[in-house]
Structure 1
């Protein structure tokens, strides 16, 4: 492995989004505040697209001629296509591909961390931490929680919190990945000028591509995943999938189990059933939350000041 240049690296972020203007604005403002030079937003649905008018943000509405060979049915295929376009446009050293409900965190400057990566590394795997709440949030407060669930322990050991996560979620646990509802694969920074093919959805499976190492770990970086969102956004996300309004074939069996629970709750008790299930999936009672913190399954990452701001319009 060659030595890094030891200078701060420049970086950008890309996301394919279907979200409200406040959420898109908060996403962009967060990444700009954390040091991103460019933010690429690909708006997947023209009917809800917004224009984030901030310096460094490039908005693309994905309709009409954007899809020269036809719009891919699978959301994941559209995400990879758009991220690969952003890699070609990118003017920075690195590009992070993530979703609009994923916000990077580090105790260090992100560019400083990236600048320490050796020159023959083309991909950096960023592990996720999944948000959990003491009380149900709104769309305007869902990014303010300081509580996050972890799949890896502090030594990097996976599946470390089986017992405490089973205690936390009881009969819902089998629909989770050791207490996490979203993915545990993480996302990745890809070196923008590296010839490593299309951008990955999560990260490259190969250890090396064209001389570049593709699975470097950077434990200083964490991707906070706000998977359960707010109650209304959570319902919309899952019900659109249940009703086949969006195709997400790579979501996996755990998402299928979650959506079976959601469909059953709606069929049995309507909106009240959905609210009750959301409460169980997104929040932890005080006593359980305290135990999870003691065990290390839940850890505290305090939100930055810009996430606490009232206006993200």
Structure 2
């Protein structure tokens, strides 16, 4: 059966090294087209991206939001902007299937995704990609911001008749800070076919005028690697950024709210922040063994540098220090907080 084509859509405001790595990885592993919506319309990377084959770049300026947003202005939350842009791209794309992703998410295939899509098309549903979330190995130097291993989700493993939640036993005191064993999301992302009645959401799709959740088929070819915090600083800044949102505008999951509350409480205590990151994201041998014992440890390493070099002709600096400098330069309010800690 002939493979079907697929593409990606993302709304981004990220350091150059991460964004280029993501785009090059997916172009190099089969994406026919990628629609990049620059959340900052003045992002200096625009010209560089426009020169790359396969990319469709949109600056999210007043003209764009006037034509895309129902209220004719820039939506207050990033999730709303992502959803609007994803469906804008779905109407414009030429590939057979489109996937909404974030810049810190990477699809890894065990066999060509296009082959699976050709068969899943018969099912009249979305194709979902289960997430694996990056964790750091305690004491191991972080060579690049992709270093580490991955934990997988307990989603679908928790059926019991006695009222006990397995995750409470597996994760103990960390249980309130996790969703199915993840600090970020356990929902994954999905691909939807072009030219039908689908509406792409952040993690899943809807169909028809009543916006019913689409039927889904879980991919057996492709997994989503999620780097929820490329560096410790990135994770801290992400949580504090969520804390700035008005609760009436952005619905935040309970486990994420619990993380935000802790980070907000310790924001001016650098030692506490380091300890919190270590507790939640840095795994020693005993904790790795526990994940391994429950079948929740994906021990494959992710090193995209060969693919990136094939696509770009060079590899951006993927070391953590310059990434953090770019984060600070792009987030002046949070930079003041970081400076206060030094």
For this structure pair, what is the TM-score category when the shorter chain's length is used for normalisation?
0.7 to 0.9
The reply on whether 1:162 has 2:167 as its aligned counterpart is yes
Cα distance in structure 2, aligned partners of 1:138 and 1:88: 44
Q: Which residue of the partner structure matches residue 280 of structure 1? A: 279
Identify which of 296, 303, 316 aligns with 1:312.
316
CA distance in 1, matches of 2:238, 2:142: 13
Which structure shows the bigger proportion of residues in helix conformation? Answer: 2
CA contact (8 A) 1:102 1:225 kept: yes
**Farther-moved stretch of structure 1 (46-55 vs 101-110):** 46-55
In structure 2, relative to structure 1, the CA distance for the partners of 1:308 and 1:109 (3 Å cut) is: closer
Which residues in structure 2 correspond to 1:71-220 (within 5 Å)?
Answer: 71-135=74-138, 141-152=144-155, 156-158=156-158, 162=167, 165-166=170-171, 170-196=172-198, 198-204=199-205, 214-220=215-221
Answer whether contact 2:17 2:316 (CA < 8 A) is retained: yes
Q: CA deviation at 1:241?
A: 2.1
Whether 1:30 aligns to 2:25 is yes
Provide the residue aligned with 1:3 in structure 2.
none
Q: CA deviation at 1:223?
A: 0.9
Cα 1:178–1:200, aligned 2, differ >3 Å: closer, same or farther? closer
Q: 1:228 to 1:136 in 2, by over 3 A?
A: farther
TM-score (normalizing by structure 1)? 0.84
- Displacement of 1:208 in angstroms is 11
Question: What is the CA-CA distance between 1:130 and the residue it aligns to?
Answer: 1.1
In structure 1, runs of 5+ residues without a counterpart are 1-5
Name the residue aligned to 1:255: 256
CA shift for structure 1 position 260 = 0.3
SS of the equivalent of 1:124 reads: strand
1:290 maps to what in 2? 289
**CA shift for structure 1 position 236:** 1.7
What is the SS of the residue equivalent to 2:137? coil
* Deviation readout 1:109-153 (Å, 9 max, x if unpaired): 11122122133524112211111110489997232333333224x
**TM-score between both structures, scaled by the size of structure 2:** 0.77
* Structure 2: distance between partners of 1:45 and 1:165: 41
Q: Structure 1 stretch 243-252 or stretch 34-43: which is displaced more? A: 243-252
Q: Deviations over 1:83-108 (max 9, x none)?
A: 01111121110001111111111211
Residue 223 of structure 2: aligned partner: 222
SS in 2 for 1:266: coil
Task: Work out the CA distance in 1 between the residues paired with 2:126 and 2:266.
Answer: 41
Partners of 2:149 and 2:131 in 1: CA distance = 14
In structure 1, the residue matched to 2:325 is: none
Call closer, same or farther: CA 1:106–1:287 in 2, change over 3 Å.
same
